[in-house]
Structure 1
Amino acid sequence: MFNRILVANRGEIAIRIIRACMEMNIESVAVYSTADKESLHVKLATKSICIGSGRAADSYLNMDAIITAAQVTGCDALHPGFGFLSENSEFVRKCEAAGITFIGPSADAMDALGNKSTARRMMMKAGVPVVPGSEGPVEDYKKLEKIAKKIGYPVLIKASAGGGGRGMRRVYKPEDLQKLYEEAKAETRACFNDDEMYVEKLVLNPRHIEFQILADEYGNVIHLGERDCSIQRKNQKLIEESPCMFIDEDLRKAMGKAAVTAAKAAGYNNAGTVEFVLDEKNHYYFIEMNTRIQVEHGVTEAVTGIDLIKWQIRIAFGEPLNLKQKDVRLKGHAIECRINAEDPAKGFMANTGKITFLNIPGGPGVRVDTLLYNGYETSPFYDSMMAKIIVHAQTRLEAIRRMRRALLELVTEGIITNGDFDYLLLHHPDFVKGNYNVGFIEEHMDEILAWDKAVDE
């Protein structure tokens, strides 16, 4: 097995990887920026090394600094976590050139799937259902206009290199097409230095369903069931759960088979996630594949009992999967709430501050992945996610009640979080019944904020 792994990330995912290394008797090296000098992942790793200033471009996105750090600390492998360089094929190739094993898919698979229009063409060829739209990138507005007219409005303009909802625009009428197209191109150019776009039919208010897959280098691929990630705000997930209460065993088998086919078509290995939209008639369509560990991986771990981080490490080392599809069983129900340092009453504006008192929820069936500790000061340089609360119970209703209890126990004095908003959302009758889709928060936002204000008063 690897002797020492460099963790090329920060926050709760860095801590999660370090903990897996500890349990596998592998040494870990934490990299950190000057802004993260007092961060928890730095304190927990076997070794730590500063790689630059607070700006991500100077530290966590600095490929040469990270690879140099791995070399000088004697690391034989590197885990990228999620975000930052986790889906950057150039970084994978730099690691390989330096003799460092990248814990993730190959650069070629990452290239094939990282460009969403290319991935779309690949899935069409493999027979995986895709949303009607352009077969590849749209080079200019005239072509976009022609395709949009053919598939019919509303349409969804998407960036080939996008992610996190950036470079995406919904267009409901022809007269708005050009303006929104130019907006999307400008945003993706600024965020990803790439303004290649494609277009597809907008499936109105679908469910967002993703399948976790594991694939080794010997062609063995399995899926670990689905996660319902439909509770979103501005295309960013807020609450995830598994299994989806509206997917029966036949549909699960069909979507799982499509996810496995997608991974095989790309020659994929390691952990990955195949994302689908599911319409009201239970027709499913491939939208993209994430070539990294997901934020919400803990939900799948809870219902399957399979440690995804440890399997990432084993697969990267060259071990074959000893799990068969028949070995995977979804037991009980799991829900995850993302806890972000943001104020829902102010448009979810991110805020910073120092934790003056912290209480982490506990008890049976509760897991909290977090970077927080008493005295921790949040940074304006990075993502606002501070913690993930994951609960597991025998039934969905029991899991909802357990999550409500956990959110009540969470105390983060010194910063404002979305914890209260999540708590109220979990009481909404439609959420409890499972009657929700990707438009749920937008539809009920004012209602939930009014409840929050009433509680404060």
Structure 2
Amino acid sequence: MISSVLVANRGEIACRVFRTCRDLGIRTVALHSDPDAGALHVREADLAVRLPGATPAETYLRADLVVKAALDAGADAVHPGYGFLSENAAFARAVTDAGLVWIGPPPEAIEAMASKTRAKELMGIAPLGEVTERDLPVLVKAAAGGGGRGMRIVRELGAMDSEVEAARAEALSAFGDGEVFVEPYVEGGRHVEVQVLADTHGTVWVLGTRDCSLQRRHQKVIEEAPAPGLTDDLLRHLYEVAERAVRATGYVGAGTVEFLVDGDTAHFLEMNTRLQVEHPVTEAVFGLDLVALQLRIAEGEALDKAPPEPRGHAVEARLYAEDPAASFAPQTGTLHRLSVPDGVRLDTGYADGDTIGVHYDAMLAKVVAYAPTRAAAVRALAGALERAEVHGPVTNRGLLVRSLRHPEFADGRMGTGFYERHLDGLTTPEPDPYAPLAAALASARGHRFGGFRNVPSQPQVKRYRTEPDGTEHEARYRHTRSGLAADGVHVVHASPDRVVLEVGGVRRKFAVATYGDRVYVNGTALTALPRFTDPSEQRAPGSLLAPMPGTVVRVADGLAEGAAVTAGQPLIWLEAMKMEHRISAPASGTLTALHATVGHQVEVGALLAVVAEAAVAQEDPS
């Protein structure tokens, strides 16, 4: 029997595995890098072992250090989670060679399927050879790992070399393996996957389908089970292929077989030899705990001959610290508050007051809703996200709510190109017009004043900027004999954390939370602006600022001050949260300043370069 489990991972998945271990009476051991020393998964574990360093390559990707940590902490089993070393056959062997129980598939099965190129060979799929114009578009893809890292769509042959190089660099950083391959890219297809579970006694469970078509940067955003709208014939085919993959590799444990569905045709993509991020929707529909079943299988127990029957529908949304309107740029900072209404499941690796750093994935949490029907589950999840309190860096919360309520998603007609078609409309700001006034009234109640004056006076004025779109607003109010007043509304109640306004005979309630100059009013984030602008904060036109903290990993070849650049030309590459982000010229003109240097760490807002537009450069040669 397993008595102590080390989770070779961090954040949300570590917390998820610990939850089941606690329920089973199993002691838990956490790993942590230096930036993760105070992380939630460390606080929740019974024991924790430090891996000196900050980057994944120094810490969570060091198989030797992870195995040593398990032995030092007295663990007798290792759960790999997902990402990092979860699909590394050498790591699995190192665990078992050390006399520890490996909670996962045999190394041979990992070797057969963890490399996407070898997996396709095993399934009889020939790789794409030399790419020609006829083959476009194609997808450059990392052979190891997942999560959308090391993936690039190529639509023009001239971009092939640069995209391959970028994919290799990203894959090497995320997985320690820079191998990539090229496969056809199916426009508008659906990403459908099949959950499998197998024991050591020859029993294989096929646990239905999931649809994971809503993706950004090839990384899943909203997932659901079962996948809607599939024909019985297609379902049978998916289940047969998934079971064949399991039996062909002698697979044991939890895994996922992924497909790209184009109409009634399914193209095999890969098999993930681990637990998936989206496993909670399958758990909800089948009434299972997949982590508990992983532990039972690792202990040699047999599964029942058949799984339970599925019931209802479940939908999961991944809440990210990112700005969808700015190419999904990751965000960092303090997460002041994260709370969702009762009735939905929240899986997270963060708690109130935690810091979101630059070294790891930007996912804050997974929010899961279950209901008897798809429509009811989608409505419940959208409502819960809309009412959630997420106070801190900019997130994709608004995008998730609008996506769930989009007619195309509601009708089950989505595909992997959903955000390519609808992103602009889904990221159009929809701030509450009364949020700035509510913030101002709450602020007024949070300070003591000398009282009203018995003569008419100018109204009090406060200025706010809505985040992340940057729109500025003025809020005006007055102190009167009967309290606070504002034109066009009746102020029913105003306190530092709650404001009630009556507008056109309808009362509206506003929950207000203030952290320094940042104010959250229901779902609207505001920054309180000073009365006068600090001259030191002014920037020259054409300034390129770092959109997130990160490391400068590349500067365009030959780029130097005085060089001519064209609008949209990539100039600088930053690496943050294990992904590369391009900084491009905002307009055609002249590079008048270059401050970015390869290898340097930069903070958000750091000045990287300045591009003077062509017309400006001609008017002012200096």
Relative to the length of structure 1, the TM-score reads 0.89
Question: Residue 65 of structure 1: CA displacement?
Answer: 2.0
> Given the alignment, which residue of 304, 313, 322 partners 2:295?
313
Asked if 2 retains the 8 angstrom alpha-carbon contact of 1:211 and 1:224, the reply is yes
2:398 alignment partner in structure 1: 420
SS of equivalent residue, structure 2 residue 358: coil
Residue equivalent to 1:371: 349
Distance 1:405 1:52, change over 3 A: same
Contact 2:84 2:174 in 1 (8 A): no
Letter in 1 for 2:220: K
Match of 1:339 among 319, 327, 334: 319
One-letter amino acid of the counterpart of residue 38, structure 1:
G
The answer for the alignment partner of 1:359 in structure 2 is 339
Q: Within 2, Cα distance between the matches of 1:359 and 1:119?
A: 41
- Return closer, same or farther for 1:75/1:278 CA change in 2, 3 Å cut-off: same
Following superposition, the deviation at residue 454 of structure 1 comes to 8.2
Q: In 1, are the aligned partners of 2:152 and 2:167 still within 8 Å (CA)? A: yes
**Does 2:434 align with 1:434?**
no
Partner residue in 1 for 2:7: 7
Matches within 5 A, 1:26-45: 26-45=26-45
CA shift, 1:192, in A, is 4.7
Match of 2:284 in 1: 302
- SS of the equivalent of 1:368 reads strand
CA 1:203 to 1:96, structure 2 compared with 1: closer, same or farther past 3 Å?
same
Offset of residue 193 of structure 1: 5.3
Contact 1:303 1:333 in 2 (8 A): yes
Counterparts of 1:179 and 1:27 in 2: how far apart (Å)?
47
Structure 1 position 103 matched with structure 2 position 92: no
Report the counterpart of residue 112 of structure 2 in structure 1.
Answer: 112
Residue 25 in structure 1 maps to residue 25 in structure 2: yes
Could you tell me which residue of structure 2 aligns to residue 348 of structure 1? Answer: 328
- For residues 282-331 of structure 1, the C-alpha deviation after alignment (integer angstroms, 9 at most, x for no partner) is 1111100111110000010010111110111111111111241xx34221
Structure 1 residue 180: deviation in Å?
Answer: 4.2
Higher-strand-fraction structure: 2
When residues 122 and 240 of structure 1 are mapped into structure 2, their CA distance, relative to the original with a 3 A threshold, is same
Q: How does 1:24-173 map to 2 (within 5 A)?
A: 24-124=24-124, 133-134=127-128, 143-145=129-131, 148=132, 152-161=135-144, 163-173=146-156
Q: Deviations over 1:77-109 (max 9, x none)?
A: 011111111111111111111111111111111
Query: C-alpha distance in 2, partners of 1:259/1:375?
Result: 43
- Higher helix proportion, which one? 1
**204-213 vs 55-64, which deviates more?**
55-64
Match of 1:285? 267
Classify 1:199/1:349 alpha carbon distance in 2 versus 1 (closer, same or farther; 3 Å).
closer
Q: Distance in 2 between matches of 1:68 and 1:133?
A: 39
Q: State how far apart, in whole Å, the 2-side matches of 1:190 and 1:451 are.
A: 34
Partner secondary structure for residue 94 of structure 1: helix
Instruction: Please say if residues 2 and 26 of structure 1, whose CA atoms lie closer than 8 Å, have aligned partners that are also in contact.
Output: yes
Tell me which amino acid in the other structure corresponds to 1:330: P
State the alpha-carbon separation in 2 of the partners of residues 189 and 354 from structure 1: 29
Say whether the 8 Å CA contact 2:138–2:183 is kept in structure 1.
Answer: yes
Contact 2:83 2:145 in 1 (8 A): no
- Secondary structure of the 1:226 match is strand
- The CA distance in 1 between the partners of 2:168 and 2:371, in whole Å, is 44
In 1, distance between residues paired with 2:153 and 2:69? Answer: 42
Q: Cα offset for 1:179?
A: 5.2
CA distance in 2 between partners of 1:195 and 1:72 (Å): 31
For 1:127, the equivalent position in structure 2 comes to: none
The question of whether the paired residues in 2 share the 8 Å contact of 1:421 and 1:452 is answered with no
- Whole-angstrom CA distance in 2 between matches of 1:56 and 1:368: 25
**Could you tell me how far 1:448 is from its partner in structure 2?**
0.8
Q: In 1, are the aligned partners of 2:16 and 2:347 still within 8 Å (CA)?
A: yes
In terms of mean alpha carbon deviation, does 341-350 or 308-317 score higher? 341-350
After TM superposition, give the deviation of residue 37 of structure 1 in Å. Answer: 2.1
Query: Shift in Å at residue 374 of structure 1?
Result: 1.9
- For residues 153 and 414 of structure 1, do their structure 2 counterparts lie closer, same or farther at Cα, with a shift above 3 Å needed? closer
Shift of 1:228: 0.1
1:238 deviation in Å? 0.3
For 1:193 and 1:14, the matched residues in 2 are separated by: 21
Other-structure match for 2:190: 207
Q: Pick closer, same or farther for the CA change 1:97–1:206 going to 2, 3 Å.
A: same
**Is the 8 Å Cα contact of residues 139 and 182 (structure 2) preserved in structure 1?**
yes
- Distance across 2 between alignment mates of 1:194 and 1:50: 24
State the AA in 1 paired with 2:122: M
CA distance in 2, matches of 1:247, 1:81: 30
CA distance in 2, matches of 1:290, 1:116: 9
Q: Give per-residue Cα distances to partners, 1:111-131, cap 9 Å, x unaligned.
A: 11111111101111xxxxx5x
Q: 1:200 to 1:377 in 2, by over 3 A?
A: closer
> Following TM superposition, by how much is the alpha carbon of 1:340 offset from its aligned partner in structure 2, in angstroms?
0.8
Report if aligned partners of 1:361, 1:368 keep a CA contact under 8 Å in 2: no
Normalization by structure 2: what TM-score?
0.66
Give me the whole-angstrom Cα distance separating, in 2, the residues matched to 1:161 and 1:86: 11
- 1:275 maps to which of 255, 258, 267: 258
Distance 1:182 1:58 in 2: 23
Q: Report how far residue 209 of structure 1 moved.
A: 0.2
Query: Secondary structure, in 3 states, of the residue corresponding to 1:90?
Result: helix
Q: Contact 1:424–1:452 at 8 Å: present in 2 too?
A: no
The range that moved more, 182-191 or 42-51, is: 182-191
Please, which moves more after superposition, 220-229 or 339-348?
A: 339-348
Secondary structure in 2 matching 1:144: coil
Q: 1:48, 1:185 → 2: CA distance?
A: 33
Segment of structure 1 superposing worse, 439-448 or 41-50:
41-50
What secondary structure is seen at the aligned counterpart in 2 of 1:377? strand
DSSP 3-state at the match of 2:335: coil
* Percent identity (aligned): 43
TM-aligned CA distance change 1:401 to 1:321, over 3 Å? same
Amino acid at match of 2:398: D
Residue 187 to residue 81, structure 1, CA distance change in 2 (3 Å): closer
Answer whether contact 2:76 2:100 (CA < 8 A) is retained: yes
Shift of 1:54: 2.7
